[in-house]
Amino acid sequence: MSSLKFHYVVDKTDFTRAGEASSDVKGKLRKMGCDPEVIRKVAIAMYEGEINMVIHAKGGVIDVEITPTDIILVLKDNGPGIADIEKAMQAGYSTASENIRSLGFGAGMGLPNMKKYSDEMNIDTVLGVGTTVTMVVHMK
Amino acid sequence: MTVKELAEKSGFEALNLGEEGTRDITGIYCCDLLSVVMSKGFSGACWVTIMGNINAAAVASLTDMACIVLAEGAAIDDMLIKKAEQQDISVLKSDMPIFETALKINGIING
Ligand SMILES: Nc1ncnc2c1ncn2[C@@H]1O[C@H](COP(=O)(O)OP(=O)(O)O)[C@@H](O)[C@H]1O
Ligand SMILES: [Mg+2]
């Protein structure tokens, strides 16, 4: 069985378009008749990853692969990297600025949400080079 | 109850009625932190918030909520309304604080 692949460029610091890639994937999964709970998990995990790229890493690229068994999300940025992943994963931890917080972001729940709503997650990060987050959500 | 009926009965101004306001409201949800709304917002929810920026539209759409009610006479970004029009999302506006707004909605849909 073949798989479908999609590529998205996430604009740097463009809040007006943040979430567009996630919305597009959600629409595609819905049209494919994907299970609503699976769609919900993908939408939450991908949106949080997309927002992190915009608010912490000046944008990046997202590759989405839909196979008969899985949805694989690879979010790659060339941002500052994450110094302490364990700390970053803690609920409530955030380095977001006051300005970002006033928009409703920076609750420090993004990475915990991504972990919770994906079935597999891996963070590959190098300080000063960038971060690649890979998440897999299984089809039911 | 549909979004349109809620708008009429509450007197809250409809800044945009997506799908002609025909979406059914399944419950009320209040929160301003978008990450929390992403994980707790539910399909058909009437979402009461003060977050009047464009990101509210993305969150409402991704969580499949029925409408956004901007409370506390919150500042509303034009971009939010434009996005709501594009994505068929209903947006209502209330001058009351979040709690009173939600209470009034509850009285209308459950009372
Ligand atoms: N792609 C990224 N690049 C650099 N730092 C990141 C990235 N994603 C997350 N972080 C760091 O991890 C912290 C926690 O992330 P998250 O849980 O999503 O919370 P929030 O985005 O609300 O700050 C962020 O405040 C930031 O310091
Ligand atoms: Mg985040």
Domain containing residue B81: 3-109
Residue A1 confidence class, pLDDT cut points 50, 70, 90: low
Question: Rg (Cα) of chain A, in Å, rounded?
Answer: 14
Is pLDDT above 90 for B73? Answer: no
Q: Quick check: CB of A93 below 6 Å from ligand 1?
A: yes
Tell me: the pLDDT tens digits for A22-32? 999 999 999 99
CB contact under 8 A, B54 and A105: no
Q: Quick check: CB of A108 below 6 Å from ligand 1?
A: yes
Based on the structure, what is the number of domains in chain B?
Answer: 1
pLDDT number for residue B104 = 98
* Residue in B36, B61, B79 closest to A16 by CB: B79
CATH of the domain at B35: 3.40.1390.20
CATH number of the domain at A4-138, out of 3.30.565.10, 3.30.360.10, 3.30.460.10, 3.40.50.12590?
Answer: 3.30.565.10
How far is residue B101 CA from its own chain's centroid? Answer: 11
Per-residue H/E/C for B51-109? CCCCHHHHHHHHCCCCEEEECCCCCCCHHHHHHHHHHCCEEEECCCCHHHHHHHHHHHH
Q: Which residues contact B46 (CB under 8 A, 6 or more apart)?
A: B3, B6, B25, B27, B28, B29, B65, B66, B67, B69, B105, B109
pLDDT number for residue A115 = 98
The torsion angles phi and psi of B41, rounded to 5 degrees, stand at -65, 145
**Cα separation of A66 and A3, whole Å?**
6
Tell me: the pLDDT tens digits for A73-92? 999 999 999 999 999 999 99
Model ipTM over 0.85: yes
Is pLDDT above 90 for A17? Answer: no
Q: Does the CA dihedral A32-A37-A40-A46 come out positive or negative?
A: negative
